[in-house]
Amino acid sequence: MNGHGEEELVFEIGVVVPKRAAIKGDEHYDAVDLLVDEFKKTGLVVEIVPGLAEEFIKLAAPLETLKKAAAKLQLKKPTHIGLDLPFEWDQSEAFVRQNDGSLFSWCERHRCYQCLLRGIENKSKSAMVLKFDGKEFFWEPWESLLQRLESEGIVKLVFPLHDEIKRKQLLRSWALKWWGFTKQPIDDVYLYFGTKIAMYFAFLEMYTRWLFFPAALSILLQLVDFGSLQFLVLPLFFVIVISWAVFFFQFWKRKNFALLTRWKISYTIGTGPGFKILGMEWAPQKHPIELSNKLESVNIKEKRVYQRDEWYGRIMRFRNDAIIILSIICLQLPLELAYAHLYEIIVSGVMKFGLTAIYVLVIQFFTKIGGKISVNLIKDEKIENTEYRADSLIYKVFGLYFMQTYIGVFYHALLHRNIKTLRQVLIQRLIVSEVFDNVLENSLPYLKYSYKKHKAVRNKKKCEKGPWKGKIQFASRVEKEYLKPGYSASIGDELEDGLFDDFLELALQFGLIMMFACAFPLAFAFTAVNNVMEIRTDALKLLAMLKRPVPRAAATIGAWLNIFQFLIVLSICTNCALLVCFYDAEGNWKIEPGLAAILVIEHVLLLIKFGFSRLVPEEPAWVRANRLKNVTHAQDVYSKQLLRSISENGKKIE
Amino acid sequence: MNGHGEEELVFEIGVVVPKRAAIKGDEHYDAVDLLVDEFKKTGLVVEIVPGLAEEFIKLAAPLETLKKAAAKLQLKKPTHIGLDLPFEWDQSEAFVRQNDGSLFSWCERHRCYQCLLRGIENKSKSAMVLKFDGKEFFWEPWESLLQRLESEGIVKLVFPLHDEIKRKQLLRSWALKWWGFTKQPIDDVYLYFGTKIAMYFAFLEMYTRWLFFPAALSILLQLVDFGSLQFLVLPLFFVIVISWAVFFFQFWKRKNFALLTRWKISYTIGTGPGFKILGMEWAPQKHPIELSNKLESVNIKEKRVYQRDEWYGRIMRFRNDAIIILSIICLQLPLELAYAHLYEIIVSGVMKFGLTAIYVLVIQFFTKIGGKISVNLIKDEKIENTEYRADSLIYKVFGLYFMQTYIGVFYHALLHRNIKTLRQVLIQRLIVSEVFDNVLENSLPYLKYSYKKHKAVRNKKKCEKGPWKGKIQFASRVEKEYLKPGYSASIGDELEDGLFDDFLELALQFGLIMMFACAFPLAFAFTAVNNVMEIRTDALKLLAMLKRPVPRAAATIGAWLNIFQFLIVLSICTNCALLVCFYDAEGNWKIEPGLAAILVIEHVLLLIKFGFSRLVPEEPAWVRANRLKNVTHAQDVYSKQLLRSISENGKKIE
């Protein structure tokens, strides 16, 4: 994994255009030719690979080109003095290098590529006439060429390419290293896939390692008979498991910080809604108002605007959450309950199967609709940062999945008070979901890929029937990658990528084992084994089955951390209820309604106490804006001087 | 409140030395004369005021002298670009000025004075012989003159002086403005007393304002009869009051940030133990290991040392907390319960009085011992920052006071289940404590002052009997101030000042009204009225009754915020218990022991869930050190360049 771009060039971006007719008159200036020329002009190295039905333009950027793009983007990078400063072309000495010695991380390189590709504009004053396949269209002044071609349907896709050498290395050292148990080359994963995905695998690794402890304990409980103390075993297990979970997440947060430091990612500790750690803010800091030029604090009028903005956003978010929660309770809950109830009542196996089929269809539809509604609702929330928006969506969509997964189980647990059925249901769900998911996760992309490949070959054959009937060449790597499915979420959303599914799987699994820990301790052992496999299958999926994902810069696991924390609190309550069911087999533990009401009030108030601080941030928006404004201003004005002196200093030390 | 030190000089520090015998031979170099000369040499303006038995050296520092001291101290100050940089003598344009136009805040000036006073050292290579009142002693090379004189008993006290003009202004606009209700000139208070005291008054103001709402509600409850819905009133009041408290503290945190921004105090949002906001770190950032010169990240060995250090400190703290908690439970709890029980049993009024007298004596003794033990324990905890140490002490000592104040009330509430007696006890405690405290707070200092004055005059008379028997002159302001008591905590501690008592009063009062909200709603009205008075009496105490306190730089109310939050959680539980008592007058709400055990487990686990994050910080010490090291290094290396450019830029804009 050595220095990128300095010794050897790696093609990292692919652009897909339709295959042009064999030979054309040179009379027209071909749009694709122009695109290739422009790519070359911006300093990119271009390689054109013909495919079956498409042509692939592979792009690589030499370091100098990347530097220019980074300087144009004013990419904030950590410097040797701990401040993040905008990149300057000639002061690269001042910036911290990646652990493999390269100047830019994959996230940063991807941003630079985007900037280079989108930055090709018509610099002349008049519109240019472009032709492609006989079609003519205009390229307006200052319009991005790539955008124009995309809207004309000529550029079909721009996607990151796998780096074959590193991919094979990772396959050997990571995805296929089955005997490695939970051990992973996380640093290499970070260099290859970027922060967010590496964070997922680091979390999965630590989670699995920590899982071994309750797993061992649960096996012990299963094997040993504690005699007269047996009645103490379950409550004790419950207490240990909850403490374990609380410890785990606190130590995960520490691990997260340690990883960020190791990967040389600078972070600020903020008080955002539900966040402790904010990642680098990629998007340029936008203020509702133009930055005033005076170096003064935010004045009263600005303060008002900020406050209005803050509260408006907050109220909108509250409204949206209320809509989602209400619709889940009013629409989804009855559906789920009806299904659970009907499933219990119906005796015939065929009927059960039919019912489940209908249910699955309805719920698929419901989830899709829910996702769409959530995406639309979020647009009102005025969140600028993409990662925040993604998190806001996760909370909303998780509600849907939560109901789907657990309502049936709750139904068994609390209404039937039938522990044996509950255990059966849990085993069923765990095994089915885990085996099913793992198999599906890898086979589905492969099937998709095979189908696409088959279709492409058939099309080719159809087109060229006659001339040569031999085996069709299908060797170009880039075409294979193009045919592989992308790393996208099953809710098919624009805001999240495939990590949503992976985290969702983990969260639902975590909820299942934690919330019903007392009913079925052995679930921990199942899960530990499953997660060891999950690490490798997920790695394999990313490396072999899918297109290389677009890197994301988020520095934490974001909303999922809060969801896990919420599941812990919930599991405290559900396990208590389970314990009551267990020890009250005769049903003579009556609780007066008055007392019950008081207990409910208590729990609601505790929820308010600990939940409210997430609703209203501690640092008012105008204060935060003021702070950031000053810092931004400082960096704008003094960054050049600072950079020069840092890099000089760096040279001296060397 | 205009620019300090630029137009007029104000004497801000007083040094007390004994009065010298009338005339002395000039043969010896008098130590006090030397001190005065040295003060003059460092650039301070000196005025000597003779008193009855002492001589007072009043000191004022012109701006240039302060600047020199600040540069020597490398005082970190906020600059116009949002970074805190060490002060440079010739770049004062670059730094943010206070709202009254002065360059240094009172906290900063006080630090400069300390630096100037303590910085007078024997620069010659040999020890100097000093004489005072016939006594001879040596001033060793590089020894601080003030320290030498203090240890010889010649310098009796160094204390901050009131600024007569501003004090009178504040008396008019703040302490004596009774019709102002909760309105206070907080900004002026900040300029005069520094951050910590201003924060206390800002908190008191906001708390009192917010109190009006539950106070009005409680009066409404008292006056209106809700008929058949009466049974809903108390639970509703309970829910409203808890939500009110949760809201209040969240909004207080916001207010805190807003105040810091208004006062131009820079802050970092950290993850210290139990803190959200860290103030300026006054103490220079000390690392366990010397800063390595290389601009690299913390290496593995350093990381280990940090981790060991972090965990050692944490374990020591845990041990200390355990010791304190155990001793409170094992020693204090039985004592308190015994007192409460005996008080109930005894019928005779005289016996009761005697018992209470003994109890008060014992508990005074107990608290003193507890305070001493806590201070000693804290020394092991290796906390460098003074404010953190103060906070660690507050937690420990609050435990003692908590037991003292509430155990008796709990005894009534939960064991006797006698609501009427409980109400009586509450009224008694509230009125007695509030009236008593307010009266005592102002009269005690005045009595102390009068006694000291009387003694001084008598001594004087005794000494000079014969010569002139007329009225003794007692006009010098500085002598009066010297005789006034200092602003110190009643536990008589080195770590905290009088704010401990003031906050303790607020916290105990808050606990009393919140924890027994259901038993006695009217307490809120009592407290609101009391707090309106409290604002003025506290102000009066600070301005008229006491010496000017030494300013402290803490940017938040620190440990008290966590104590208030803890009291809210506790009051959720106690109020639930109270409600059960109320609605179960016949005592037929039986709860099975099994169920009770499960409920206890649940509460303990919820406590673990929400308490554990305070025990283990999210950001590991080595990561934090790494971050700070980089920043510190940056500021050391580049601050001069930066400052020059900032101040040039500032001039251009002007």
CA A647 to each of CA A77, A80, A92, A94, A640: distance values in angstroms, whole numbers, following the listed order: 14, 9, 7, 4, 11
Q: Kindly state whether residues A119 and A257 are assigned to the same domain.
A: no
Q: Rounded to a whole number, what is the distance in Å from the CA of B6 to chain A's nearest CA?
A: 23
Closest to A314 (Cα-Cα) out of B254, B637, B604? B254
Question: What mean pLDDT comes out for the span A387-394?
Answer: 80
Gap between the Cα atoms of B203 and B558, Å rounded = 12
Amino acid at A566: F
Asked whether residue A627 is domain-assigned, the answer is: no
Q: Which residues of A touch B584 (CB under 8 A)?
A: 592, 594-595
Q: Which residues of B touch A271 (CB under 8 A)?
A: 269, 276
- A30-82: pLDDT as tens digits: 888 888 988 998 889 998 888 887 889 999 999 989 999 998 888 888 877 66
Confidence of residue A637 (pLDDT cuts 50, 70, 90): low
* Residues in contact with B624: Cβ distance below 8 Å, sequence separation at least 6, in sequence order: B270
- B251-307: pLDDT as tens digits: 998 899 889 888 888 776 543 333 333 333 333 334 433 334 343 445 677 778 888
- To the nearest 10 degrees (0 to 180), the angle between helices B621-653 and B300-327 is 100
Q: Which residues of B touch A612 (CB under 8 A)?
A: 246-247, 250
Question: What mean pLDDT comes out for the span A567-579?
Answer: 90
Q: Are B243 and A608 an interchain contact pair (Cβ–Cβ within 8 Å)?
A: yes
Residue A128 has pLDDT above 60, yes or no: yes
Asked whether residue A147 is domain-assigned, the answer is: yes
ipTM topping 0.90: no
Q: Which residues of B touch A601 (CB under 8 A)?
A: 235, 238-239, 576, 579
Confidence of residue A470 (pLDDT cuts 50, 70, 90): low
Q: Which residues of A touch B253 (CB under 8 A)?
A: 618
Q: Are B271 and A271 an interchain contact pair (Cβ–Cβ within 8 Å)?
A: no
Predicted local distance difference test score (pLDDT) of residue B596: 83
Which residue on chain A is closest to B640 by alpha carbon?
A: A642
Asked whether residue A300 is domain-assigned, the answer is: no
| Selected residue with higher pLDDT from A615 and B472 | A615
Report CA torsion sign: B436, B439, B445, B448.
Answer: negative
Gap between the Cα atoms of A275 and A614, Å rounded = 8
Number of A/B CB contacts below 8 angstroms equals: 209
Residue B577 has pLDDT above 90, yes or no: no
Q: Kindly state whether residues A141 and A237 are assigned to the same domain.
A: no
On whether the CB atoms of residues A368 and A402 are closer than 8 A, the answer is: no
Number of H helices, E strands in chain B: 19, 10
Closest to B511 (Cα-Cα) out of B394, B432, B417, B404? B404
Q: Are A631 and B594 an interchain contact pair (Cβ–Cβ within 8 Å)?
A: no
Predicted local distance difference test score (pLDDT) of residue B313: 82
| Mean model confidence pLDDT for chain A | 80
On whether the CB atoms of residues B374 and B317 are closer than 8 A, the answer is: no
Closest to A4 (Cα-Cα) out of A111, A99, A114? A99
Q: Kindly state whether residues A465 and A542 are assigned to the same domain.
A: yes
Q: Kindly state whether residues A410 and A539 are assigned to the same domain.
A: yes
Mutate to test the interface with B, among A256, A261, A291 (most CBs of B within 10 A): A261
Residue percentage of chain B with pLDDT more than 70: 84
CA A333 to each of CA A325, A564, B222: distance values in angstroms, whole numbers, following the listed order: 11, 22, 42
Mutate to test the interface with B, among A241, A263, A295, A646 (most CBs of B within 10 A): A295
Predicted local distance difference test score (pLDDT) of residue A632: 65
User: Nearest Cβ partner of B618 from A276, A641, A642?
Assistant: A276
Which residue on chain A is closest to B265 by alpha carbon?
A: A627
Residue B519 has pLDDT above 90, yes or no: no
Mapped onto helix, strand or coil, the DSSP state of residue B86 is strand
Mutate to test the interface with B, among A595, A628, A639, A651 (most CBs of B within 10 A): A595
What residue has token string 């249910």?
A359
Residue percentage of chain B with pLDDT more than 90: 17
CA A287 to each of CA A84, A258, A638: distance values in angstroms, whole numbers, following the listed order: 19, 31, 21
Q: Which residues of B touch A568 (CB under 8 A)?
A: 609
Question: What mean pLDDT comes out for the span A112-130?
Answer: 86
Which run of H or of E encompasses A16? Answer: strand A13-18
Closest to A124 (Cα-Cα) out of A141, A139, A108? A141
Alpha helix ranges (H) inside A42-163: 63-73, 106-118, 145-151
Q: Which residues of A touch B297 (CB under 8 A)?
A: 261, 264
On whether the CB atoms of residues B461 and B472 are closer than 8 A, the answer is: yes
Asked whether residue A641 is domain-assigned, the answer is: no
Q: Which residues of A touch B83 (CB under 8 A)?
A: 631, 634
Q: Rounded to a whole number, what is the distance in Å from the CA of B253 to chain A's nearest CA?
A: 6
| Selected residue with higher pLDDT from A164 and B53 | A164
Asked whether residue B365 is domain-assigned, the answer is: no
Q: Are A595 and B591 an interchain contact pair (Cβ–Cβ within 8 Å)?
A: yes
Q: Rounded to a whole number, what is the distance in Å from the CA of B269 to chain A's nearest CA?
A: 6
User: Pairing state of beta strands A54-60 and A45-50?
Assistant: antiparallel
- B601-649: pLDDT as tens digits: 888 888 888 877 777 777 777 777 776 666 666 666 666 666 776 666 6
Q: Are B242 and A633 an interchain contact pair (Cβ–Cβ within 8 Å)?
A: no
- Max Cα-Cα span within chain B: 95
Q: Which residues of B touch A641 (CB under 8 A)?
A: 641-642, 645
Last residue of a domain, one of A139, A160, A181: A160
Q: Kindly state whether residues A96 and A222 are assigned to the same domain.
A: no
Alpha helix ranges (H) inside A328-418: 333-345, 349-378, 386-410
Q: Are A569 and B602 an interchain contact pair (Cβ–Cβ within 8 Å)?
A: no
Predicted local distance difference test score (pLDDT) of residue B611: 77
Burial (CB count within 10 angstroms: exposed 0-12, middle 13-18, buried 19+), residue A172: exposed
Residue A641 has pLDDT above 80, yes or no: no
Last residue of a domain, one of A103, A132, A160: A160
Q: Kindly state whether residues A254 and A234 are assigned to the same domain.
A: yes
Gap between the Cα atoms of B217 and A121, Å rounded = 66
Predicted local distance difference test score (pLDDT) of residue B403: 84
Mutate to test the interface with A, among B583, B618, B636 (most CBs of A within 10 A): B618
Q: Rounded to a whole number, what is the distance in Å from the CA of A75 to chain B's nearest CA?
A: 20
First CA to last CA across chain B, in angstroms? 23
Name residue B47's beta-bridge partners.
B58
What residue has token string 């004013």?
A74
User: Nearest Cβ partner of B580 from A260, A264, A595?
Assistant: A595
Q: Are B594 and A597 an interchain contact pair (Cβ–Cβ within 8 Å)?
A: no
Closest to B246 (Cα-Cα) out of A177, A452, A604, A556? A604
Gap between the Cα atoms of B508 and B500, Å rounded = 12
Predicted local distance difference test score (pLDDT) of residue B7: 55
Q: Are B616 and A295 an interchain contact pair (Cβ–Cβ within 8 Å)?
A: no
Q: Kindly state whether residues A446 and A529 are assigned to the same domain.
A: yes
List, as one string, the DSSP characters of A232-256.
HHHHHHHHHHHHHHHHHHHHHHHHH
Question: What mean pLDDT comes out for the span B351-361?
Answer: 84
Which residue on chain A is closest to B234 by alpha carbon?
A: A598
Mutate to test the interface with A, among B602, B624, B626 (most CBs of A within 10 A): B602
- B370-388: pLDDT as tens digits: 888 888 887 777 666 777 7
The count of structural domains within chain B is: 1
Q: Kindly state whether residues A206 and A63 are assigned to the same domain.
A: no
DSSP state of A494: S
On whether the CB atoms of residues A548 and A179 are closer than 8 A, the answer is: no
Mapped onto helix, strand or coil, the DSSP state of residue B459 is helix
User: Nearest Cβ partner of B609 from A572, A627, A630?
Assistant: A572
Gap between the Cα atoms of A38 and A15, Å rounded = 13
Gap between the Cα atoms of A231 and A215, Å rounded = 20
Which residue on chain A is closest to B246 by alpha carbon?
A: A609
Gap between the Cα atoms of B102 and B63, Å rounded = 9
- B294-334: pLDDT as tens digits: 434 456 777 788 888 888 888 888 888 888 889 888 888 88
Q: Kindly state whether residues A151 and A72 are assigned to the same domain.
A: yes
In the structure encoding, which two tokens stand for residue B53, read together? 């038995």
Predicted local distance difference test score (pLDDT) of residue B292: 40
Q: Are B598 and A580 an interchain contact pair (Cβ–Cβ within 8 Å)?
A: yes
Asked whether residue A80 is domain-assigned, the answer is: yes
Distance of CA A27 to the CA centre of its chain: 48
Closest to A401 (Cα-Cα) out of A510, A272, A497? A510
Q: Are B81 and A584 an interchain contact pair (Cβ–Cβ within 8 Å)?
A: no
Q: Kindly state whether residues A390 and A275 are assigned to the same domain.
A: yes
Gap between the Cα atoms of A323 and A303, Å rounded = 30
Q: Which residues of B touch A252 (CB under 8 A)?
A: none
Q: Which residues of B touch A295 (CB under 8 A)?
A: 80-81, 649-650, 653
Asked whether residue B44 is domain-assigned, the answer is: yes
Q: Are B645 and A638 an interchain contact pair (Cβ–Cβ within 8 Å)?
A: yes
Q: Rounded to a whole number, what is the distance in Å from the CA of A483 to chain B's nearest CA?
A: 43
Which residue on chain B is closest to A633 by alpha carbon?
A: B81
User: Nearest Cβ partner of A612 from B246, B297, B618?
Assistant: B246
Asked whether residue B260 is domain-assigned, the answer is: no
Predicted local distance difference test score (pLDDT) of residue A25: 54
Q: Are B595 and A592 an interchain contact pair (Cβ–Cβ within 8 Å)?
A: no
Q: Kindly state whether residues A395 and A456 are assigned to the same domain.
A: yes
- B470-480: pLDDT as tens digits: 555 556 788 88
- Owning domain of residue B20: 13-161
Q: What is the dihedral of CA A111, A112, A114, A115, to 10 degrees?
A: 120
Q: Kindly state whether residues A242 and A124 are assigned to the same domain.
A: no
Closest to A292 (Cα-Cα) out of A282, A305, A310? A305
Q: Which residues of A touch B598 (CB under 8 A)?
A: 235, 576, 579-580, 583
Last residue of a domain, one of A127, A160, A193: A160
Residue percentage of chain A with pLDDT more than 90: 16
Q: Are B623 and A243 an interchain contact pair (Cβ–Cβ within 8 Å)?
A: no
What residue has token string 């010649």?
B154
Number of H helices, E strands in chain A: 19, 10
- B84-96: pLDDT as tens digits: 777 887 778 888 8
Confidence of residue A603 (pLDDT cuts 50, 70, 90): confident
Question: The whole model's pTM is what?
Answer: 0.84
Residue A289 has pLDDT above 60, yes or no: no
| Among A101-115, A296-310, B359-373, the least confident range | A296-310
Which residue on chain B is closest to A645 by alpha carbon?
A: B638
